Chain A
């Protein structure tokens, strides 16, 4: 009945240390289609996987692990494959980073793109590459708007600066006299003190405008460490109040002696409108829109890249698997009739998201027991279909299908009342009356030929108090919602209003509280099976 619970209930395929499911847990559906070989095959493979770990050939296991890591972009920087359509953006990021880390210029740049458009991925990738040669040349401060409020961000910056500075200079300091070090700690602790002090310290540390340059003549060999700020969800820092943090950081880009580079990631296309005019004036106006895939061909090719790791990235033993696999993928992607291509096309039309596709293919790869097995399931793609079907379990249809007879009857009654009333409002009283009517007229049609056994054929008419319980269940599924109820509370204020409303609403007696329907009677008609005795009631 509780479909959500079913979906959450993931099965674990035991032998896979590298079986990583990122967003959704998977449960394979018990699909009864005996004629379908591929599906049976999938079942078999799952069963097989419950045998011992050692059954899987070690070479294949390595290959599978490698493939899985490739899918999740967790390989080492050199082995990571950057999609072709991202190349230009990657070059641009790399250029900005090199200019600020190597040439010590200051930059500010905002990257805009929907979720899973590889914004942070590209930055991290480039940083990983750069850190090989220029490890001591930069410090990265990472902030996330969902985690840090403006004040927390200030403390966060201080703490991250301090730890990383200590890390960079740690070896020298531990050798110094402990006494000296203690004094140092008192004076140069960036992250200690009140918020005001911390903020002042950060500003003075990075901002030359605050301090006068006493000794400009420094030896040429001395340069400053680049401080790199990476903001996720930068739009949350550009809130309606004072954009103190952004103002100061962007200001630093222009003033500071210390080279500062600011990367902001956001999903908002109109991020510039969020920035206050002074902040906007200081921002470099440089916005990188993450590229999107143009057409189906490009999408298919990118999926191919997603599925095939770079050649020669694996040791010789498993090279055979890798090349075979890559060949298979490139063939399948080119063949417009292949199952894989169908799946790609479906994804292209609906989600157009590589991340979603990746998630759907992970169970397929994770459950492969040997190369032939994997190849077959790749050809059939049944597991991908299974994944999609599983996703539907959370939909309205599945939830309605899972309702008991009484619950369905009450739901239909409620939908009928909603349709009849002018403003689509319903309450429990009206619904119960409708329900009673429904049951009575159904019972009236039952032939009352024999006097003794009538009760057996009749449907029980439940008491009002009993139906109340059902009513609340329906509320739990949000088939019916209280009038004006506010959804997810995004902010403290929203939560406050919501709680205020509840207080107001609960003063009305339970029977008379107003509710609104999430599904219409028309929709119910398409979902309720024809065999159900309530089917006739799904229209007025």
Chain B
């Protein structure tokens, strides 16, 4: 360093170009203009003896601090001219001498075993002194600014080989040798060849030189420019290669992992953990996908595209961290280089384990693509993933299979019962039937849903259909039928292929699962609900229409999808307003005004619903439905094995003709009939209450069951094929004669059966229950009713009831039964027990009444003040009590 020309006295500055030609030793002010010529090198030359040095040279300087002749060897890496304060600045890294090293750190790296011995302090230093050559230097990565006045001489640095070589002539004061580069505190030794480095550094800018040495010291960190640094290159390659390879292997089958690692890169600037998690998932997915490997040729094109994209992005990813990691050291290394950097990979591993439990991915689809153009054609993607899950469930299902070894008796009623299940698909109900018959009285609703959905799919627009109606009026059935028709149109290539997704609010644990389900059906991957929601948002709003298929979503039991934020219903409806959405939402709920009630004008103002109200079925419609279900079975003939009751339906007349003539012994013909009156009454009864088709079918089914039960009991048939001889039922057989005059047994489901089935559902049985309770329970209720009559209040405190019971018993003391029972209840007159305050079985009776739902009790600690009241109608209780002969008279 020289502040002024005076200090520079005795020195001159020489600038050379790359080839070593002197450009002009005194023209220091016009550097800028000459920049174009290439790298300039500055040298300082002592005029007296023409000793000169420049970048890459080793020099010996006196230590400025103490004057006892200590000298230090420096490696010059920068000579700056005309800086702010000085004319010339000389910057150098210093070399450490042996005594400047920390012995322990030294041994830690080279001979860890030495440290294991427990020697007194100073021992290691001594050991070091013995071991090391006094002329060995250690290149320390520490900046030093040098004073020209302290200059002693040039130094000659050799490598180990030439130093040991006895032929080399050595100058004791200026010759040294260097084997290692290390940190300024004398730790972390890395081998270095100074002769090579000298050449390298000479051609570098000072900053680059410093980076370069750092790279040597820490080979894993990469500098932003990758010229000539072999160590660094090795690092990058060794790290990048295997991963690339791995992904290439997987990519044959794994779509998801590609997308994921693709999105890694973009996210990498986030917290480290974040990328860890996704990394982990990569692996998991890869495994999954390998196992699910379904090699679909048609997909290959797509895949390879994605792979390329993937590789690119991986390269990008390698680039990014480089910057991050090499920036930090620049700031800190000169002072105290930390070891954190080295540990980084270990942390990664650790966090990987930590998130091993994470099941679902949570990076939304939207974050994986930089621009919408990157989004691949999703129409091909979607089906791909559906197969694997289906396979799993198929496997599960087969577990439930069992072989049918035992004998099954199919009675004449079995087929009828099967038909009366309320939700059988069309195929199961009719083989070849007219469509109008299948959905009786739902033609209009069907048409309007069909039309709006059809036109929406056709035009690629979005729409909402809102369907409301009480349970059991065929809402879901109609929608499903619409979809089936539409899918038929797709097969005919009238319509583009669309996705159909069914989401039932009550078939998920929590409402937010609906996002997961929908996204899973669209893309086949499992995301957390938050990510799924974002993905859907992105998918519907941003992804262009050409790249996706129309989606028809059936939101069944919409009210169950309402959560606190009400965001689910809002979102589903809101998506349909997007231009790109291509989404058709068919919402099904019980009430017409559900969206308004829950969301107010937020939704209804902007969405033009197609609203369809399903009203309850009328009795005629119900009758049609039942008739339709029984088509081909009502009034049909069966061959019945008289021994077991096993029945065979006579399906066509030809067969009938054939067998009729020679009926084998033990086989008889039975005619099964459900009387029209019975169907009529069932449909009328149900229509008057709710118009619920499910209910109507169930009543009929139950009636059939009752009829079957009687039939089987009469003939002594059992379900397992064993005949029970039990002929106590002597009702005469219904006989009738068919056309040919043959006797045929007939089984009819009659009004009485239907009525019995209906009564089962209506009768609450509470009166019977109370009638058959114990006397004490009835006494309790009697007292409660008495009190209610006296006070006119429904609620009574238990203390009052206790008193009332006692009063009732006391007042009726002349009744013989009461007298006897009162003694027993209070244990009056018992020689060894005193009178009780509550009647016996008090707690039992109260518990029984409360549990049966007859009584409601306030839950107070103090029994006397707890209030009770009846939970069923007073009349029922009164009627029951009046049936008790004793209490009737009180």
Task: Give A residues with C-beta under 8 Å from B.
Answer: 29, 31-33, 95, 98-99, 102-106, 112, 114-115, 133-134, 136-137, 151, 154, 165, 168-169, 183-184, 187-188, 190, 193-197, 199-201, 203-205, 209-211, 214, 220-225, 227, 242-244, 247-248, 254-255, 258, 267-272, 277-278, 280-282, 284-287, 289, 292-294, 346, 348-353, 356, 388-389, 392, 395-397, 401, 478, 481-482, 484-488, 490, 494, 516-520, 523, 526-527, 529
Contact = CB atoms under 8 A, between A and B. Distances in A.
Interface in B857-890: 859-866, 871-872
A286 B702 contact: yes
B403 A350 contact: no
Interface of B: 291, 359, 390, 392-397, 399-404, 406, 408-410, 414, 417-418, 421-423, 470-472, 506-510, 513, 516, 557, 560, 590, 692, 694-695, 698-699, 701-702, 709, 718-720, 760-761, 764-766, 768-769, 772-777, 799, 821, 824-825, 827, 831-841, 844-845, 847-848, 851-854, 859-866, 871-872
A232 to B, nearest CB: 13
A227 B764 CA distance: 29
Contacts of B291: 183
Given A103-B410, A350-B775, A281 B864 contact: no
A247 B402 contact: no
27 contacts: A98-B719, A99-B719, A102-B408, A106-B421, A133-B720, A188-B396, A196-B509, A196-B510, A196-B513, A201-B396, A211-B390, A223-B401, A223-B404, A254-B423, A278-B590, A285-B699, A289-B769, A292-B772, A294-B772, A349-B824, A350-B775, A350-B776, A350-B839, A352-B774, A396-B837, A396-B838, A486-B861
Contact of A519 (B765, B766, B831, B837): B837
Contacts of B692: 281
Nearest to A349: B775
Contact of B509 (A195, A204, A481): A195
B669 to A, nearest CB: 22
B698 A269 contact: no
Given A103-B719, A269-B854, A401-B834, A242 B506 contact: yes
B404 A221 contact: yes
Contact of B400 (A165, A280, A529): A165
Contact of A33 (B401, B701, B824, B831): B831
A224 B401 contact: yes
Report, nearest first, the 10 A-B pairs whose CB atoms are least far apart: A352-B774, A281-B471, A292-B772, A485-B861, A481-B862, A285-B761, A350-B841, A267-B851, A98-B719, A268-B853
A151 B509 contact: yes
A37 B766 CA distance: 46
B774 A350 contact: yes
Main SS of the interface on chain A?
mixed
Contact of A221 (B403, B852, B871): B403
A526 B861 contact: no
Given A270-B766, A397-B834, A137 B720 contact: no
Contacts of A392: 827, 833, 836, 840
Contact of A255 (B404, B409, B423, B834): B423
Contacts of B701: 284
Given A270-B872, A487-B860, A518-B862, A397 B836 contact: yes
Given A267-B852, A401-B834, A278 B557 contact: yes
Nearest to A346: B824
Given A205-B400, A277-B590, A356 B760 contact: no
Given A277-B471, A485-B861, 7 more contacts: A33-B831, A115-B847, A165-B400, A269-B854, A396-B838, A486-B860, A490-B859
Given A98-B720, A205-B397, A486-B859, A395 B838 contact: yes
Given A196-B510, A281-B694, A220 B404 contact: yes
Nearest to B886: A349
Given A98-B719, A196-B513, A285-B698, A349 B406 contact: no
A189 B508 CA distance: 19
Given A136-B402, A287-B760, A349-B776, A269 B836 contact: no
B33 to A, nearest CB: 71
Nearest to B399: A165
B509 A348 contact: no
B836 A352 contact: no
